[in-house]
Amino acid sequence: MTPVELSRTVLRAVRCAVDVGELSVAVPASAVVTPPGPGGCGDYATNVALRLAGPAGRPAPEVAEILRPYIARDPAVADVTVTGPGFLNITLAGGALADLVEVVLEQGTRYGYGDTLAGQVVELRVPYDTRAEIVADTLVRIVATQGGRVEVRHLEPVNLRPVPAPEDPAPLGHDAARWALLHPAPHDRPRISADHLVQRESNPLFRVRYAHARTRALRRNAAALGYTRAPFRDVRPAGRSDVPAGADVHTGGPGDARRAGVPLRTAGSTLPGSSSAGADPFLGPTPAGADLLPGSTPAEAGPFVGSAPAEADPLLGPTSAGADLLPGSTPAEADPLVRPTPAEAGPLLGSTPAEAGPLPEPTPAEADLLLALAGYPHALRIAARDRGPDRLARQLVVIADGVLGFQHLVLPLGDEKPSAAHRARLALAEAAGTVLAGGLSLLGISAPEHL
């Protein structure tokens, strides 16, 4: 269940309460669903009871108690708790979060797009300043994901004036310079230093780009072992699979999409108004590897690069750096994460459909990554609404940390054979890589295949 679907569940609960006469209010057009704040619990929280308390003429906790059983009726909801002044905290059933993987793999890098700003034209009046120009350029793409359009003008008075950088960020290179200017909140002073080039855990940009590269390496390593990710209809835990008896569960092509007619990648995935990937009027393109410290070696690349033998990334052939981000690429080139190649679509080694078995409930590491992916659409909406690319950048760091805490579960260890659980985890890793690639593209930063 995605946050959008959960929001609809909350609205249905309000409608049911109104229909039976327990509440006398107008059903709102939307219900905000977000990760729970301090003092909350569960997977998501909503303040709909607080919003309805005034019109209903009742205390918010009482309104929340009325809505609680209606929300709990949804089979994807495991528990609903009322906390604080009347927040409804919702815990999803084990398989509900895993449905997100199917959604992400179907929508590809367009996951999180919506219509919050549909038809709106946002005028950004910016000064002649490097950081302001880059923030405005990024907002053109972010606002477009929510159906809006940005017009950038150099007029007074300005309405977008982020704190300027203390020095020229160009020596950092294209990717690191953009991250240095976009990751801090607009009202914060950006830090321009070589720390953005260091391949260490302390560098958020390195963690995000490395996590993306790890998802690609996991897919290549799984292909070397002779299996690919679970198809769309087989990514959910036990008890929630809709695979018919005797069906072939080992193909991962586009035809496996549960919702027929939803493309893996749409032809219009290039955002209107966006410039060519990697183009930057201030910083300019830089050669590959510009983000690396001169003279650095793999041994200096930090704890993430020194992966264990079972997770090692054999060189299975060079790929084009940043292939996901090329606006002129063909569908076959657009995203190998989302569309597996024929060589990788082979059967699971040593298994038949009957041997694949049910998928286990998500581990804590999987659940953390699923929650991070579920929060991505909300972060994208907030970034577009508040004109803050930093909100998107921070969410990418959360997803990357989830990937790096989960990656050791994806591949079989030792003599262990690939199982349905490994295939489902590989699907989750690919979904995370797709979201990271899409988010980095919106920020104008490349997502490397190898790092």
Q: Helix, strand, or coil here: 77?
A: strand
Retrieve residue 167's tokens.
Answer: 């020095």
Instruction: Return the pLDDT at 232.
Output: 62
Q: Which two tokens stand for residue 207?
A: 């963690």
How do beta strands 44-46 and 33-34 pair? antiparallel
Q: What is the per-residue DSSP string for 380-413?
A: HHHHHHHT-HHHHHHHHHHHHHHHHHHGGGTS--
Tell me, what amino acid is at 307?
S
| DSSP string for residues in 265-312 | S-TT-SPTTPPPTT--TTT----TTTTSPTT--GGGS-TTTS--GGG-
Residue 95's pLDDT is 63
pTM given for the model: 0.63
The Cβ of residue 351 has, within 10 Å, a number of other Cβ atoms equal to 18
What is the structure's pLDDT at 121? Answer: 95
| Helix then strand then coil, % of the chain, to nearest 5 | 45, 5, 50
User: How far apart, in Å, are the Cα atoms of 38 and each of 82, 83, 264, 284?
Assistant: 14, 10, 37, 43
Instruction: Find out whether the peptide bond into 389 is cis, omega within 30 degrees of 0.
Output: no
Could you list the pLDDT tens digit for every one of the 451 residues in the chain? 777 788 899 999 999 999 999 999 999 988 988 888 888 888 889 999 999 999 999 999 999 999 999 999 988 888 999 999 999 999 887 666 667 898 999 999 999 999 989 999 999 999 999 999 999 999 999 999 999 999 999 989 999 999 999 999 999 999 999 999 999 999 999 999 999 999 999 999 999 999 999 999 999 999 999 988 877 655 554 333 333 333 333 223 333 333 223 333 333 333 333 333 334 433 443 333 334 333 344 334 333 333 333 443 433 333 333 333 333 333 333 333 333 333 333 333 333 333 344 555 678 888 889 889 988 999 999 999 999 999 999 999 999 999 999 999 999 988 888 888 899 899 999 999 999 999 999 999 999 999 8
Computed from CA positions of residues 231, 232, 234, 237, in that sequence, does the dihedral angle turn out positive or negative?
Answer: positive
Question: Please, what sign has the CA dihedral across residues 239, 241, 242, 244?
Answer: negative
The torsion angles phi and psi of 78, rounded to 5 degrees, stand at -90, -35
Task: Report how far Cα 125 is from the mean position of its chain's Cα atoms.
Answer: 30
Residue 274: closest CA among 355, 354, 322, 328: 328
- Per-residue pLDDT, 93: 76
Write the CB contacts of 17 (distance below 8 Å, at least 6 apart in sequence): 23, 66, 67, 70
Q: Quick one: pLDDT at residue 294?
A: 37
Q: Rounded CA gap, 431 and 408, in Å?
A: 16
Dist. CA 100–CA 105, nearest whole Å: 9
